[in-house]
Amino acid sequence: MQQHLERISRISAHLKPPMNDSPVGDNSSIWRSNCRAKGGSPGFNVAILGAAGGIGQPLAMLMKMNPLVSVLHLYDVVNTPGVTADISHMDTEAVVRGFLGQQQLENALTGMDLVIIPAGVPRKPGMTRDDLFNINAGIVKTLCEGIAKCCPKAIVNIISNPVNSTVPIAAEVFKNTGVYDPRRLLGVTMLDVVRANTFVAEVLGLDPREVFVPVVGGHAGITILPLLSQVKPSYSFTKEETEYLTSRIQNGGTEVVEAKAGTGSATLSMAYAAVKFADACLRGLRGDAGIIECAFVASQVTELPFFASRVRLGRNGVEEIYPLGPLNEHERIGLEKAKQELTGSIDKGIAFIRK
């Protein structure tokens, strides 16, 4: 049993390396000492919309393990009771409640501090990008209307693809209902950063947790722009290395789809990245200092209304957006290509609501 707990501890530590004051006693070795205890101060209320899906299920499991979560609401249009029963058996502090169907959406959202949206469908064989957009755009619109009504002050993490369009859709819904706060709406691009850190670490022979690559732009294809010239620890890549790494990071999703041979897409790594980002948002809400991640947000970093770059997270969501910093020639060319592609995706999302 102790060996099993130690294994879970290692997994938890990889998501968020332990603070200096952990671990606590033998029976609680998987949690940090600031974990919510009986009679202690409560954590945060988190809702996952699309909790029964390929991303939603592992996402729900990992959020149940997060000591900053006190209440976890799982919502979907199918299969939520089974997922809720399964997750609720985990011996961690968060209380899990399930909600099934649109008639229970408002109950799922009431009182939430953080809402994570992986809902939607993955692209399937024979489905065009327009097919995917029309389905997921409608889903995101409906869910954001619920958020606007029931928890307008919540931090909203959008995972549903295409993120480059669904974040503008969410913004338009919130504007139309008079609750839009650009600081509280974030498109999750963390998977691009996770992949960049992993792939760069492979090239450098380092632990991926010791590597940070800022990834800017958007969350699809050439809009994904890893700034390899700004990698930490500092390293000068050759032209060949830069081209190889940039291409692999941009096409990481395709790599998984092809490896799964038509049986699925990047669900597990996406759930991991989503939890890593959600944890950063919760630490920001708690008031921790220096929480800096990349996200697709309303921005003035470029002339585009939305752009992914490094942001500082705090009690109100995005507290500060950082400039891109110095770019090399390869990155400047990539930036122009990314912006051209992003413009169409953003406009498409806005037009979906305004039509």
Rounded to whole angstroms, the Cα distance separating 173 from 175 reads 5
| Count of other CB atoms within 10 angstroms of residue 39 | 5
Q: How long is the chain?
A: 355
To 5 degrees, how large is the angle CA 119–CA 64–CA 124? Answer: 25
Q: Which two tokens stand for residue 229?
A: 């010239």
**Residue from 104, 1, 106, 116 nearest 57 by CA:** 116
**3-class state of residue 156 by DSSP:** strand
| 196, 215 Cβ separation under 8 angstroms | yes
- Residue reference for tokens 């879970």: 8
Output b/e per residue, 119-132; b: 16+ Cβ within 10 A.
bbbbbeeeeeeeeb
| List of residues 6+ apart from 274 with CB closer than 8 A | 55, 59, 116, 118, 157, 159, 188, 190, 191
Q: Is 89 known to be catalytic?
A: no
**3-class state of residue 44 by DSSP:** strand
Rounded to whole angstroms, the Cα distance separating 344 from 9 reads 44
Q: Which helix (H) or strand (E) holds 236?
A: none
Catalytic residue among 4, 14, 219, 330: 219
**3-class state of residue 319 by DSSP:** strand
Q: Which helix (H) or strand (E) holds 155?
A: strand 155-158
| 286, 296 Cβ separation under 8 angstroms | no
- Residue reference for tokens 């202690």: 40
Residues involved in catalysis: 219
